Structure 1
Amino acid sequence: MTLNTRHTPESLRSRSEAVAGSLPSLLADAQHLAATILLGEHGRKRAGTGDEFWQYRQAEAGDALRSIDWRRSARADVHFVRQTEWQAAQSVMIGVDDARSMTYSGSKARPSKLRRAQTLAMALAILAVRGGERVGLTHLAEPPRGGEAQLMRMASALMDPEDAGDYGTPRPQVMPLGARAVVFSDFLGEVGPVEEALGQAADRGVKGALVQVLDPDEERFPFDGRTLFESMSGAIRFETLKAGGLRAAYLKRLALRKAQLRDIARHTGWRYHCHHTGEGAEPSLLWIYRALEKVRL
């Protein structure tokens, strides 16, 4: 949306060196962020097939006779069902938009939208793996896996983005049936591909959350007077002498885009959240964690 340096082609060697140099910092930030979310084991307290006792509940119409705990029921006037914890590992698919618009930051004191999205994505992956779940990236063909080695693979892939255009579109592979997913993006490009991707995901029973990552300047539109607006690639340029006069129209379009995303999420059983890079990452990570619990099948 606004000015920034243009990207230049890099050799494979220099690109690999950049990834290797940034990887420890990303992992350290994600580990620190995940450590602030003191939530215990991820997603264990759910009734289902398993061996570990969780709780008793009163029997309901439709419960099989074999599910009734007759010993517990003998001590009361009603029948009780013995529930066990849900223990099957599920898959959490994570998508991070690496388009050039995501590299924007309105201040050196703030991380870029891409870096914040990467940090949130890796912190979420760490929490999921610690909870015994499998994680994967939506744009890769490899299936989701668990373990520390998978976290390293994901971090490396996130730090080595493809040569994308100004604005990103979802690039999901076929996700596992019943998986949960989180997509991080500024969602400033065409909204049609987002609706199509979520529709396809919903057809496979995949639910999750859209997390829109914006810089505070993109929310406030603080520009005034003579201003040159330039896309991150430099392909789109627009100069005006009265930038302040565009503020109302811009804010109206941004509000419309948020409303569209909320509607798409609601119609497909997903949830929507907007995160600003000028704020701490912890509240958004906690929101994402709870959102995934609410859409758990």
Structure 2
Amino acid sequence: MSTTVKDLLDPAHLTQIANMQLLARTAVEGFLSGMHRSVFHGFGTEFLQYRNYTPGEDLKYIDWKVLARSDKLYTKVYQEETNMNVTILLDCSGSLDYAGERAPCTKFRYAAMIAACISYLAGRQGDNVGLFTYSDELLEAVEPGHRSGQLSRVMHSLARLKPHGAAAHQRTLDNLTHPFKHRGIVVLISDMLESEHELPRLLRNFRYRHCDVIALQVLDPDELDLPQPKVTRFQDIEAGKEVVAWPSSVREQYARRMDEFLATLKTGFSQSQVDYLRLQTTDSLGLALAQYLHHRTL
């Protein structure tokens, strides 16, 4: 049986690839080939060289051949116009070190795979890629750049990381906000647990710096429906606290609290003009790549 684009973006397939750069290349090239066939069929050129025409722009940049084939106006975007800073902020706190029985990998492994794929896709487009990872302190800092070996530096940083500690969102993001002086894209990847009021406020600061911001929330399916059938010991990995309970007796209340948490996050990000996408560790990585690509081609 041949490998499909869906297979290449399946976290169950990707988590078997140890080399982060190979993993990212496998997923991204599969994603782009699928996009080329389904969305940009007939353009005859890499679709990343085009964007929608805006009334008032110089007509000399319109691709008239594309107009004739598709009856749509697209403007050619040249390399010097496309370069921008893409900065990935990756939460490495202990709460991400969880994988339920339905998940092919931990939340952290899934988050790291997303970071690798976005880094590869950004580098492929000629953008400056940067990575900052943190838990209770800043762990890895790769300043945005496009020099030789930049992508390898990002991938090696991702490969070294082990989730631990508590997420010091405020201290880390406050310190990182100040250097942002130019337009770019900031991508936060986190489970966002117990941060529904904090993170929208903190990411709003990047919007004040004229950055587009994408917040990708990674959750395990277990965290959404509490499927355990018998008495279970629940442990707070970051605080070390434990609770023993019958899931069936608390499931309804848990579901209500989880819905409130997710609704608060969604509302907060909307008010802060931050794009928000919730992902489960069983979801295709194509969802995260499509969200990034949407911003990249605006």
| TM range, smaller chain | 0.7 to 0.9
Give every structure 1 segment of 4 or more consecutive aligned residues whose post-TM-superposition deviation is greater than 6 Å: none
- State which structure, 1 or 2, has the greater radius of gyration over its C-alpha atoms: 1
Q: Does 1:103 align with 2:106?
A: no
Quote the offset at 1:284 in angstroms. Answer: 3.1
Residues in 1 aligned to 2:163 and 2:76: alpha-carbon distance in whole angstroms: 48
Q: Does 1:261 align with 2:268?
A: no
Q: Aligned in 2, Cα 1:168/1:114: closer, same or farther, shift over 3 Å?
A: farther
For residue 19 of structure 2, what is the aligned residue in structure 1? 25
Q: Aligned in 2, Cα 1:42/1:148: closer, same or farther, shift over 3 Å?
A: farther
In structure 1, stretches of 5+ residues that fail to align are 1-21, 58-82
Q: How far does the alpha carbon of each residue in 1:141-187 deviate from its partner, in whole angstroms, 9 at most, with x for none?
A: 55311256111111122233377424462633133422111111111
Question: SS where residue 132 of structure 1 aligns?
Answer: coil
Q: Does 1:231 align with 2:233?
A: no
For residue 54 of structure 1, what is the aligned residue in structure 2? 61
Residues in 2 aligned to 1:281 and 1:43: alpha-carbon distance in whole angstroms: 23
Checking the alignment, whether the CA contact within 8 Å between 1:42 and 1:128 is kept in structure 2 is: no
Checking the alignment, whether the CA contact within 8 Å between 2:84 and 2:184 is kept in structure 1 is: yes
Residues in 1 aligned to 2:49 and 2:250: alpha-carbon distance in whole angstroms: 46
For residue 117 of structure 2, what is the aligned residue in structure 1? 123
Checking the alignment, whether the CA contact within 8 Å between 2:187 and 2:215 is kept in structure 1 is: yes
Q: 2:77 aligns with which of 74, 82, 85?
A: 85
More displaced 10-residue stretch of structure 1: 22-31 or 260-269: 22-31
Q: Does 1:279 align with 2:275?
A: no
Q: 2:126 aligns with which of 132, 138, 144?
A: 132
Q: 2:51 aligns with which of 45, 51, 62?
A: 45
Q: Aligned in 2, Cα 1:277/1:163: closer, same or farther, shift over 3 Å?
A: closer
Question: SS where residue 45 of structure 1 aligns?
Answer: strand
Q: Does 1:177 align with 2:177?
A: no
Checking the alignment, whether the CA contact within 8 Å between 2:232 and 2:244 is kept in structure 1 is: yes
Question: SS where residue 252 of structure 1 aligns?
Answer: helix
Question: SS where residue 146 of structure 2 aligns?
Answer: coil
Q: Which has the higher helix share?
A: 2
Checking the alignment, whether the CA contact within 8 Å between 1:94 and 1:182 is kept in structure 2 is: yes
Q: Aligned in 2, Cα 1:191/1:225: closer, same or farther, shift over 3 Å?
A: same
Query: What is the TM-score normalised by the length of structure 2?
Result: 0.72
Checking the alignment, whether the CA contact within 8 Å between 1:216 and 1:277 is kept in structure 2 is: yes
Question: SS where residue 213 of structure 2 aligns?
Answer: strand
For residue 77 of structure 1, what is the aligned residue in structure 2? none
In structure 2, stretches of 5+ residues that fail to align are 1-15, 36-45, 65-74, 134-139
Checking the alignment, whether the CA contact within 8 Å between 2:200 and 2:274 is kept in structure 1 is: no
Q: CA RMSD in A?
A: 3.2
For residues 189-268 of structure 1, the aligned pairs below 5 Å read: 189-233=194-238, 235-240=240-245, 242-268=246-272
Q: 2:296 aligns with which of 280, 293, 296?
A: 293
- Residue identity opposite 2:211 in structure 1: V
Query: What is the TM-score normalised by the length of structure 1?
Result: 0.72
Checking the alignment, whether the CA contact within 8 Å between 2:24 and 2:117 is kept in structure 1 is: yes
Residues in 2 aligned to 1:239 and 1:104: alpha-carbon distance in whole angstroms: 18
For residue 161 of structure 2, what is the aligned residue in structure 1? 161
Q: Does 1:145 align with 2:151?
A: no
